Amino acid sequence: MHDPQSHRQPAPPRTAAQRVRQMPVGGGMTLLDLASWLAPAATMIAAIMTASNAGTRMTGWGFVLFTVGALSWCAVALATGQQNLLWSNGFLVIVDAIGICRWLGRRAKLEDGARAAAMKSRRRHVPLFPVFALQDAPLKGPDGRELARIAGAMGDCRSGRIDYLVLRGGGLAEGEGFRALAWKEVRCRDDFETRLTREQIAALPPVDPADWPASAYA
């Protein structure tokens, strides 16, 4: 007898798209199901982390999550045949990798080096602080409570000293109020502190964030 099964053609190999759509990852989910959830979630969390400007390492880990999101979008694009989505997120993987190297590599090392110098200077009783530490740092009052956040600073070109700080938020005014505070009113220990009260700072002239003054009380 002739075996009809002997003439059956072997099943064609599965394409990459089919493998992504059908590959099980547990819990009744396929790789496509997982990527479809992971891609938007990782991208949104990464956007929050980088937009919060919460420090070098937070930004760096934000780029790590951006990479996870971009790779997940690539999986979705591969499974659904969306070439534009695949190419755009493939490019973003490269950009995100550069961001990781910059923020978790070079920038993180520089930040560690500056903090090490600050610790050494305390042992010499000539305390220093990294200038980047001013950005978005809290300014505390006599009672140790936060009065405002430091939005920026202006320095004297001749002496190299800080002339004044620009403060935002806190109890300064409704919404994003800005005030300029002379550096002589600030003490730098473990934190940035001032002897002024919330009411005294709020009574300072307001500062236009797009037009800073030539001096703290100009």
**How many whole angstroms separate alpha carbon 63 and alpha carbon 81?**
26
Per-residue model confidence (pLDDT) at position 174: 47
Residues 135 and 158 in one domain: yes
- Any domain includes 211: no
Residues 107 and 62 in one domain: yes
Q: Is the pLDDT of residue 30 over 90?
A: no
Residues 144 and 188 in one domain: yes
DSSP β-bridge partners for residue 92:
none
Burial (CB count within 10 angstroms: exposed 0-12, middle 13-18, buried 19+), residue 195 = exposed
Per-residue model confidence (pLDDT) at position 172: 53
Question: In terms of residue numbers, what domain contains 147?
Answer: 131-202
Residues 63 and 90 in one domain: yes
Residues 46 and 100 in one domain: yes
- Any domain includes 5: no
The number of folded domains in the chain is 2
Identify which of 196, 218, 198, 197 has the alpha carbon closest to the alpha carbon of residue 207: 218
Residues 85 and 150 in one domain: no
Per-residue model confidence (pLDDT) at position 118: 85
Residues 52 and 99 in one domain: yes
**CATH number of the domain where residue 135 is located:** 2.30.30.240
Residues 80 and 136 in one domain: no
Around Cβ 140, how many Cβ atoms within 10 Å? Answer: 18
Between the CA of residue 123 and those of 96, 110, 113, 190, 197, what are the distances in Å? 39, 20, 16, 13, 31
- Any domain includes 124: no
Residue of 217 and 211 predicted with greater confidence = 211
- Any domain includes 214: no
Q: Does pTM surpass 0.75?
A: no
Provide, rounded to the nearest whole percent, the portion of the chain with pLDDT above 70.
84
Among 77, 92, 119, the domain-final residue is 119
Residues 153-188 pLDDT 10s: 999 999 889 999 999 875 554 445 899 999 999 998
Residue of 197 and 23 predicted with greater confidence = 197
The pair of three-digit structure tokens given for residue 139, joined into one six-digit string = 């300014």
Per-residue model confidence (pLDDT) at position 40: 95
- What's the mean pLDDT in 129-153? 89
